[in-house]
Structure 1
């Protein structure tokens, strides 16, 4: 088995024992270790490969300047910026293969920046007292970050926290050995959707695009899937996107905690990536099934998808709000955009006779899209439902035209 090297990051002035314990586990499994200290005030018991002074310098600052802020938040943001820049440089230089960061809320704040700086496919593990917490906004999460709860380890080693620390050490080393990093030899198309019970276009579109020589990644638009989609779009990973399930835009503006962040449906546009968009499931707002619906939606019809997730059916005025939000986001796009508007419905449950059919609500949404569609977006109205073959055919027509024109890189 090929040996791999793991970057172990944390505040060695206060968590020296825990960080060294993880390093020992990694070495015991045959891996290599490099260490990075992100402390400000204190010093580790022994030298680290990359000191706190190296980290501050990578941020264009110094430990002296961090201390002079007299504010731990500002000081740690200097260290967060420096650790992210230094980690990226070290990775590009081949110094390490995966990273594990240990911290409480302060260290986790830093860890999120560091992990976001590293490319997709680099194993990224965060051992944190606030793993899985609502303290962590989705837009701070790298697309492939992994988190392990640091249970019982706030101060000092014990058998409880060793269980978490040893798992994290083994997991990051195993991931570094096993990971198959993305191969971008084929242009990648990013697509958003839900399961086949509600949206079905990917069933035909994915093989059709693959036959054309493209790789297709379909993202489940339930908050974290949209976050991964947006983070990769921001990196310019996609040759084109088919953003057909922007429901997370509605989730966000309606106050649902199932959010992909405020920048949902913006990053492909900022990167100039060609976008084919459509309003799949625009009429629903998801919320956590075991919690009460957001107050503004509490009196409206609810569809329970499972014990984790429920959906509220939006009224006509709320659908206009969603339409305006979509138009505002697409108006900022720096690349070409075609918006496909299926006039007969946008999810399987809103067909005539289906339980969520609302012709007046659909009409209000269509009217608002027609009124507010920005000048940089080509609106194509389709006399079909989003799950009809005609919708997929229209999407492929746009895609093929863009390939012929050189707008999308040919395979």
Structure 2
């Protein structure tokens, strides 16, 4: 059966653009069908042949029926249509070769919500007026590509034709040369890294590669989200969560915050987890002008023109220890938290600007006063710095011991990626 690229948008406001995309895809030799996700009312465009799949048809996939979508309340209608579209795509996933959506703020939220439910590897492109800013809320842990429209999507013009043609050719190229599915030959691991913990990870990866297939996630908020999603999907056999800096941003208003659900997948799946305090000595902001007024008197390092790092205080470190400790208490699988008393990052070292033994002690106090230690849930202290060879050796030793014990009671299988 022939597969299709689904071209998705609100045909009541963007019909010309949808038709242009479909036409350009056909010119590139790609089968395409237009999906209308208009929410104002049931569209008649299907009857006159302008679209292939009507908004009424999509709305019927909502668990409460199409009336949940056509409710005359815009926010509620968009949320309901996004649920309906997700269920439709999931029901027809075997027919999908790729997805391309167009939209403004509402359409982008609607379409990307459904796109995120599709497996990694299916080409996904969102052409959006919202693509020039922070797109984390749209992409999440998926592999959605975002393309900025430059102008608003309000009819065709010389510029929008060019941008939409490029978008069509991008998705056509992706589906025409799609990567063949690859099955991992070794158990897949999740590993978290930040620039200031890179020396540690660089020591771990060559050793891990001997037995495992490590996936390194950049701890930028979305990195943690992506890893957690793959854990939930059963793709990851174990985690070396060296860098939890996203939690500091979550608690103290940084720009690289994880979700409140960080570490919940570890509790649900009970897979082996080795964690540490990587980069908890900092909160991430954008340029200097983006720093909240309440933090004006704090200690900062200007990493570059777009990234400014703020040193966490002892009080904040105590809160971090409590937050992480509470999460670990929900985990009944094998978890080990390795506490590097010599420093949490490259900046938290002697003669470096964030060196603060008091803050590290406060974190340890918060963590140790919260975690209920058991044979499965343990805190292991080491005097070494997180980037020291001795710490990397401890990580490997601890992880191997946990995996050996886990293997004796549970057969680990490679991930499906």
**TM-score, normalization: structure 2?**
0.89
| Cα displacement (A) at 1:395 | 1.8
SS in 2 for 1:357: coil
Q: Deviations over 1:100-153 (max 9, x none)?
A: 01111111111121111001111111111222435x554762421111122324
Q: Which moved more, 1:346-355 or 1:42-51?
A: 42-51
**Equivalent residue for 1:112?**
112
The 1-side partners of 2:354 and 2:152 are apart by: 48
Partners of 1:404 and 1:157 in 2: how far apart?
61
Residue equivalent to 1:276: 274
> Cα RMSD (Å) of the superposition?
2.3
Query: Could you tell me the TM-score, scaled by structure 1's length?
Result: 0.91
- 1:355 aligned to 353, 356, 376, which one? 353
SS of aligned partner of 2:121: coil
Residues in 2 aligned to 1:364 and 1:47: alpha-carbon distance in whole angstroms = 64
Asked if 1:152 corresponds to 2:180, the answer is no
Residue number among 218, 241, 244 corresponding to 1:243 in the alignment: 241
CA–CA distance in structure 2, aligned partners of residues 334 and 172 of structure 1:
43
Change (3 A) 1:294 1:139: farther
The equivalent residue for 1:397 is: 397
8 Å Cα contact 2:272/2:403 also seen in 1: no
Query: CA offset at residue 249 of structure 1?
Result: 0.4
Please list every run of 5 or more consecutive structure 1 residues that lacks an aligned counterpart in the other structure: none
Please say if 1:86 is aligned against 2:84.
Answer: no
Q: Counterparts of 2:312 and 2:132 in 1: how far apart (Å)?
A: 29
2:184 aligned counterpart, secondary structure: coil
Q: Is the 8 A contact 1:273 1:335 kept in 2?
A: yes
In structure 2, C-alpha distance between the alignment counterparts of 1:57 and 1:149, rounded to whole Å: 31
Name the residue aligned to 1:62. 65
Give the Cα separation in 2 of the matches to 1:174 and 1:334. Answer: 46
CA distance in 1, matches of 2:373, 2:294: 32
- CA distance in 2 between counterparts of 1:353 and 1:187 reads 40
Q: Distance in 1 between matches of 2:63 and 2:366?
A: 48
Aligned residues: 403
Q: Is the 8 A contact 2:69 2:76 kept in 1?
A: yes
1:84 partner SS: helix
Within a 5 Å distance, the mapping from 1:113-152 to structure 2 comes to: 113-134=113-134, 138=137, 141-152=140-151
